[in-house]
Amino acid sequence: MSLATFHDLLDAARRQPEPQRLLFVFARVDLPEHATDDQRQRFEQREGGTISPCLCVDKAPAEIASFDALAAESTTTGQNWDIVFVGSLAGRAGIAPSTDEAAQPLRFMVNAINNGRVSDFAAFDRNGEVLQFG
């Protein structure tokens, strides 16, 4: 499925046959330690850097009014972030997954992101723009 906006993601989650729990991993993009000149240049052009997860949360789609509301809520944590990765967890028999059931999948997401498997997830920048990873 191709997403053009964060709203598309929310709509898709709400249309699934089973209730969903959305999984969010917020991450910073930093310049690598001991960066080369090429890495510095790519970082300055916003085309490179290291991705470091810094904040995780899970929510039912109904708990999210908009990307702006999610971003505003994230500021209360004091964590700065550049990208938010989104996954989902489907419920069963009409019952949405709980926060407890989301804990392990969130850890798997963090591990995947740390291992560079960022294209497994929907991703948005600070302004809510869809990001594509090649």
pLDDT digits (tens, 9 = 90+) for 6-33: 999 999 999 999 999 999 999 999 887 8
CA dist., res. 78 & res. 33, Å (int): 23
pLDDT in tens, 56-94: 999 999 999 999 999 999 999 999 999 999 999 999 999
pLDDT at 126 over 80: yes
pLDDT at 48 over 90: no
Please calculate the CA angle 22-82-42 and round it to the nearest 5 degrees: 130
| Per-residue model confidence (pLDDT) at position 10 | 95
Query: Regarding predicted confidence, which is higher, 4 or 110?
Result: 110
As given in the structure block, the two tokens for residue 9 are: 């993601």
| Per-residue model confidence (pLDDT) at position 134 | 65
Q: Is 116 helix (H, G, I), strand (E, B) or coil?
A: coil
CA dist., res. 6 & res. 23, Å (int): 14
CA dist., res. 73 & res. 87, Å (int): 18
